[in-house]
Chains A and B, each alone.
Chain A
Amino acid sequence: MSKHAAGRPLSPHLGVWRWSPTMASSIFHRVSGVGNSLGLLVLAWWFVALASGPEAYATFVAAASSAMGRFILFGFTVSLCFHFLNGIRHIVWDTGHGFDVSKSAAWSWFNFVGAIVLALIIWVLGYANLGAL
């Protein structure tokens, strides 16, 4: 079933849907999951650099604290926060609760806004920890 017969018409399944909050949160749950998987590569770099020695660690810290490094790490933080919040919602869904339309739409919005707020809080705390604030 994996091969489409050549020349057969496909239903316009991608272009015809109006975006809804639940659809967006479902798609971004996947996107952030893939993003978090990429983040595990950075985590591995952190561990291996710390185990390898001061020079390897300095290289990692220099890369992570560069402007590009901070931008990417902030992206990973938002991705992690969204997957965290929306993952909790998935666990609640698995118990059979929270399925009515208005509640699940509101919860989707909450997860998007919450992910950004949570990521900002983490970064503010991080900078405060550094003594930069």
Chain B
Amino acid sequence: MSLRTPLSRVRGHGSAKEGAHLWIAQRATAIALVPLGLFLVASVMATIGIPYEAARAYLAQPLVSISLVLFVIASLWHARIGLGEVVADYASSDRTRVLLLLLFNFLAFGLGAACLLAVLRIYFAG
């Protein structure tokens, strides 16, 4: 057992040389989500109260489909980083942290696959 403090052990080794990619991806997706989020709200407002076929026809427009696909990717990516940050800060044990990160990753990819398949189905059905 070492009596050295964790701080003294890492001192002098320089930075970890990696890790900034999540910080950058969080900002990049945030900037992308400004217009994409506005577009999502507009899409929801355009489809509330209209019949099923009309809502499908609205989403099947190429620009709408593309924007929604981009929103799904950017928002799930952003959420995955953000939730990971929350878990890293509050998880009380390594086991909880790993299990929650695994769960969030499965959810992000699972929801992403479901959303993308759904939007593409609507798009290709015309």
Measured CB to CB, the residues of A under 8 A from B are: 1-3, 30, 33-34, 36-37, 40-41, 43-44, 46-48, 50-52, 54, 57-58, 80, 84, 87-88, 90-91, 94, 122, 125-126, 129-131
Knowing A2-B93, A91-B31, A125-B45 touch, does A48 contact B79 (C-beta < 8 A)? no
Known A36-B79, A126-B48; contact A51-B121, beta-carbon cutoff 8 A: yes
Provide 6 A-B residue pairs closer than 8 Å at the C-beta atoms, listed in order of the A residue. A2-B97, A37-B82, A44-B115, A47-B114, A57-B52, A91-B30
- CB distance B49 to A129 under 8 Å? yes
B19 in contact (CB, < 8 A) = no
Complex-state Cα separation, A84 to B117, whole angstroms: 27
Question: Which A residues are CB-close (under 8 A) to B97?
Answer: 2
**Distance of A3 Cα from B97 Cα, bound (Å):** 13
Q: Is the CB of B111 within 8 A of A90?
A: no
Chain A residues with CB under 8 A of B49:
129-131
CA distance A33 to B89 in the complex (A): 15
Q: Are B83 and A34 in contact (CB under 8 A)?
A: yes
Is the beta-carbon distance between B30 and A51 smaller than 8 angstroms? no
**B34 contacts A by Cβ under 8 Å:** yes
